[in-house]
Amino acid sequence: MLVGDMKRILAGIVCVIGLGSSAAAQDITQLEKISSVASFTKTEKAITFDCQDHSQVRLTVLAPDLIRIRAAFAKALPANDHSWAIAKDDWNTPRWILSEMADSIVVSTDEVEIIVHRSPLLIEFRDARTHEVINVDEQPMAYDAKGTLAGMMFDSNAGMFVAASKTLGFDEHFYGLGEKAARLDKRRERFINWNSDTPGYTEGKDPIYQTIPFYLGLQHGNAYGIFFDNSYRSYFDFGHSSQQRAWFGAEGGEMSYYFFYGPSMKKILSRYAELTGHMPMPPMWALGNQQSRWSYYPDTTVEEVARQYRERDLPLDVIHLDIDYMQAYRVFTFDTKRFPKPKDLSEKLGKQGVKIVAIVDPGVKYQPSVPINISRGRSPSNPELDPQDRRYYVFDDGLSHNYFQRRKSGELFIPKVWPGDSVFVDYSLPEARRWWGDLHRAYLDNGIAGIWNDMNEPSDFVDQTGKNQTDVVSYDEGENSTHAKNRNVFALLEARATYDGLERLQPNKRPYVITRAGYAGIQRYSTMWTGDTNSSWESLALNIPMFTTLGLSGEPFVGSDVGGFIGRGNGELLVRAYQISFLAPFCRNHKVIDGYDQEPWRFGKYYEDIIRKYLKLRYQLLPFLYTSLEEAHRTGVPLFRPLVLNYQEDPNTYNLDDEFMVGKDLLVAPVQRPEIMQRLVYLPKGVWYDYWTNKKYQGGTMIRVDAPLETVPMFVRAGAIIPLGPQMNYVGEKSFNPLTFEIYPDDDGSAATTLYEDDGVSPAYQRGVFRRTIIDVKRAKTGYVVNIAAPTGNYNPGPREFSFVINSSPTPKFVRIADEGRGRTIEIR
């Protein structure tokens, strides 16, 4: 055996032993590097470099702060350039110039300067104004020409490994990458993207459900972003395997990435939203409290849950129906005994302000049609088969149209999921997506208000890794590509089919979809939750880093099963979980089938009373949350934020992930460990008010605060105005009347906010039917002057009152006026 072979085998063994299936030990220095530039051509938008080894590299200027790099190794770039993630490809080319130097070619926009070194071919990004280096290749882009990594690849037929490597900054921090069971700052870590069903995951488990190959780098207060738009199994290493480099690569597909320059993280997130799509506004009730269980049945149990909520004066907007509502797990059916009249149920619940969201898994029961008289062959004690047991229309229709996934051989791919043998739809087929979307009529006709897409990694009980699916083919825009390319986009396309279907079937209502898996762009179609967590303190401590990381990855509408999904929780854990999730966009208590009951009242009155306090506060804060949600929709900047997003100049925030902010005004420091009644809180520079006492703190330091179980430490930024509505138990129970503006003046006596409102249900906001009201406050000689600007937009919320409360002292000053929908100035003395 040659020494080289031995080394390779040893490397393989190390992978198997040390990393299991998540082998990320690829040594990218061994790969073939793209050779030097031989010549280049320029068009209005791009420069294409022809390399000595016949590779091609294209640099496209999309915006002054957005550059795309695309490379084909030892061949010309293919004409086909399709990505499911991209929402916008018609960019107006900004001003840019090209300068040719002896050793390099320099492209300059108003914001970024890209130096392409000819030999070796290294790409360097600099700030166009300061010329400071932001990001630079550590080695030329590389590919596995010799199949060095073939044995280490998950699917050796996937394609050729491609990689790009960047010099790791001595003080560089990394954020994003979507759903990762990891801390906020990803420096020195490495990750794999391969959508995986990972129940009971704990910190460090990787990969889990989603793939968002987008990250932010931050050094010296300047941020950049990289979106590696490659749906194959991909790898990101932020200085884990070497002190020198941060690299990314994939087991096939193109080296194609987008480089975003900030320097502000918020600006990058806005561009990312422009490129991959904005989250549409969900209905306002999606911000309401939600309750779920695997599974509530029969229908009377669902009614009882709603009744308990109302009787106990606990707010609730949604109950979820998990898989047992179906007839033998057949999607688009209702069990005729457990839910004989789903429409009546949704109407009954609707009268109490409660909506139903139903789970829809991608696994369609494999059920070839059988003659009606099959019942003769059955046991005489069960002669009557339900119609769905005789013939399953979804299977029949899908099969006759050839919408189901097949293996390369042409055989149907038959995974095992909840219904047993099942089939998956090829959602990359446009007509299959349309068909799937239309099937949702079965739910809408029964008053179901939203759809929960689960198991869409896609999970297959035969083999969760995807090995059982490697030869499954997807249409993929005519490419007929295999699983290696399509797994990570399966959920994106399913959610797209669902969202588009709901939109088509109910054009006057905003669709509400929740997904478990996803790929970049998923925010266009769906909200998400973080899958099967544990009812444990360790799992709870992942909430803040995961929600904030998802927000930094283009997914603003996130949440986790409140109280944890698997295992046995307790009252204290549940309360602490609500003290985080009452401000998360998605607030849903959910529990596994054999888990301990954990509805808010299950651990006794003491805990229930505290949970009520936070749920009530969530509903009062709806005007504030909704305004922040609209900002996320419009700008891509999430509402649930890590402090670094608001204070990126402050290194104290770089790995701070046990506190979070909602928008830019509210800072929350929950307790995430048992029996802790005090904690340290970092307050960034500026003045902060304790939300509960109005006590003022000077920021830029750590403070120690009391945090008994009843109280989550919460602070308001001086200069903020927080709009609140009345207490209510479901969205729409009352109008926002009076609207109370809690004013927290800064040292100069100023405060300001912008309130966003619309009808909360229809897509009319997209046509300008909203109202935006700017309110600012200044200190005057004898009190404060409140200026309400004339609102913009065409939405009219009707007559109501505005209350203003100046919270500058423990005895707030207060004034109430009628809102006449016009600008005016008032004084508070």
Q: Taking the complex as a whole, how short is the minimal distance between the CB of residue 199 and ligand GLC, in angstroms?
A: 6
Q: Evaluate the omega torsion of the peptide bond into residue 371 and state whether it is cis, within 30 degrees of 0.
A: no
Q: Taking the complex as a whole, how short is the minimal distance between the CB of residue 626 and ligand GLC, in angstroms?
A: 26
Q: Which is nearer to ligand GLC, 598 or 740 (CB)?
A: 598
With vertex at residue 222, the alpha carbon angle to CA 216 and CA 226, rounded to the nearest 5 degrees, is 25
Alpha carbon distance 213, 193 (integer Å): 8
Phi-psi region of 763 (alpha: psi -120 to 50; beta: other; left: phi over 0): alpha
Q: Which is nearer to ligand GLC, 163 or 359 (CB)?
A: 359
Backbone angles phi, psi at 182, to 5 degrees: -150, 175
Q: Taking the complex as a whole, how short is the minimal distance between the CB of residue 209 and ligand GLC, in angstroms?
A: 9
Q: Taking the complex as a whole, how short is the minimal distance between the CB of residue 322 and ligand GLC, in angstroms?
A: 5
Output the 3-class SS for 418-433.
CCEEEECECCCCHHHH
Q: Which is nearer to ligand GLC, 59 or 321 (CB)?
A: 321
Fill in the amino acid letter for 72: A
Q: Taking the complex as a whole, how short is the minimal distance between the CB of residue 589 and ligand GLC, in angstroms?
A: 12
Q: Given the structure tokens 């499954």, which residue do they identify?
A: 472
List interacting residues with ligand GLC (CB under 6 A). 199, 294, 322-323, 359, 454, 516, 531-532, 590
Contacts of 546 (CB under 8 A, 6+ apart): 179, 180, 181, 530, 558, 560
Fill in the amino acid letter for 369: S
- Residue 704 per-residue DSSP state: E
Phi-psi region of 56 (alpha: psi -120 to 50; beta: other; left: phi over 0): beta
Q: Taking the complex as a whole, how short is the minimal distance between the CB of residue 101 and ligand GLC, in angstroms?
A: 55
Residue nearest to ligand GLC (CB): 294
Q: Which two tokens stand for residue 62?
A: 């999309």
The beta strands (E) that lie in 429-576 are given as 450-453, 472-474, 481-482, 513-515, 518-519, 527-529, 558-559, 561-562
- When computed from its CA atoms, the radius of gyration of the chain, rounded to whole angstroms, is 27
Q: Taking the complex as a whole, how short is the minimal distance between the CB of residue 361 and ligand GLC, in angstroms?
A: 7
Q: Which is nearer to ligand GLC, 474 or 560 (CB)?
A: 560
Q: Which is nearer to ligand GLC, 331 or 669 (CB)?
A: 331
Q: Which is nearer to ligand GLC, 27 or 597 (CB)?
A: 597
Alpha carbon distance 712, 706 (integer Å): 9
Q: Which is nearer to ligand GLC, 452 or 795 (CB)?
A: 452
Q: Which is nearer to ligand GLC, 436 or 565 (CB)?
A: 565
Q: Taking the complex as a whole, how short is the minimal distance between the CB of residue 602 and ligand GLC, in angstroms?
A: 17
Q: Taking the complex as a whole, how short is the minimal distance between the CB of residue 585 and ligand GLC, in angstroms?
A: 17
DSSP per position, 240-260: SS-SSEEEEEESSS-EEEEEE
Q: Taking the complex as a whole, how short is the minimal distance between the CB of residue 702 and ligand GLC, in angstroms?
A: 37
Q: Which is nearer to ligand GLC, 338 or 590 (CB)?
A: 590
Q: Which is nearer to ligand GLC, 330 or 612 (CB)?
A: 330
Q: Taking the complex as a whole, how short is the minimal distance between the CB of residue 621 and ligand GLC, in angstroms?
A: 27
Contacts of 307 (CB under 8 A, 6+ apart): none
Catalytically active residues are 454, 457, 532
DSSP per position, 664-681: TTEEE----STT--EEEE
Q: Given the structure tokens 């993280």, which residue do they identify?
A: 265
Residue 355 and residue 318 in contact, taking contact as beta carbons nearer than 8 Å: yes
Q: Taking the complex as a whole, how short is the minimal distance between the CB of residue 74 and ligand GLC, in angstroms?
A: 43
Q: Which is nearer to ligand GLC, 198 or 270 (CB)?
A: 198
Residue 165 and residue 139 in contact, taking contact as beta carbons nearer than 8 Å: yes
Alpha carbon distance 656, 678 (integer Å): 18
Residue 739 and residue 804 in contact, taking contact as beta carbons nearer than 8 Å: no
Q: Taking the complex as a whole, how short is the minimal distance between the CB of residue 196 and ligand GLC, in angstroms?
A: 12
Residue 266 and residue 495 in contact, taking contact as beta carbons nearer than 8 Å: no
Give the residue from 488, 493, 485 showing the smallest Cα distance to 513: 493
Q: Which is nearer to ligand GLC, 322 or 476 (CB)?
A: 322
- Residue 385 per-residue DSSP state: P
Residue 114: strand pairing partners? 107, 125
Contacts of 69 (CB under 8 A, 6+ apart): 57, 58, 59, 123, 164, 255, 256, 257, 258, 259
Residue 253 and residue 232 in contact, taking contact as beta carbons nearer than 8 Å: yes
Give the residue from 106, 98, 108 showing the smallest Cα distance to 123: 106
Alpha carbon distance 716, 756 (integer Å): 19
Fill in the amino acid letter for 651: P
Q: Which is nearer to ligand GLC, 126 or 320 (CB)?
A: 320
Residue 417: strand pairing partners? 420
DSSP per position, 64-133: TTEEEEEEESSSPPPS----SS-S---------EEEE-SSEEEEE-SSEEEEEETTTTEEEEEETTT--E
Contacts of 198 (CB under 8 A, 6+ apart): 205, 207, 208, 209, 531, 532
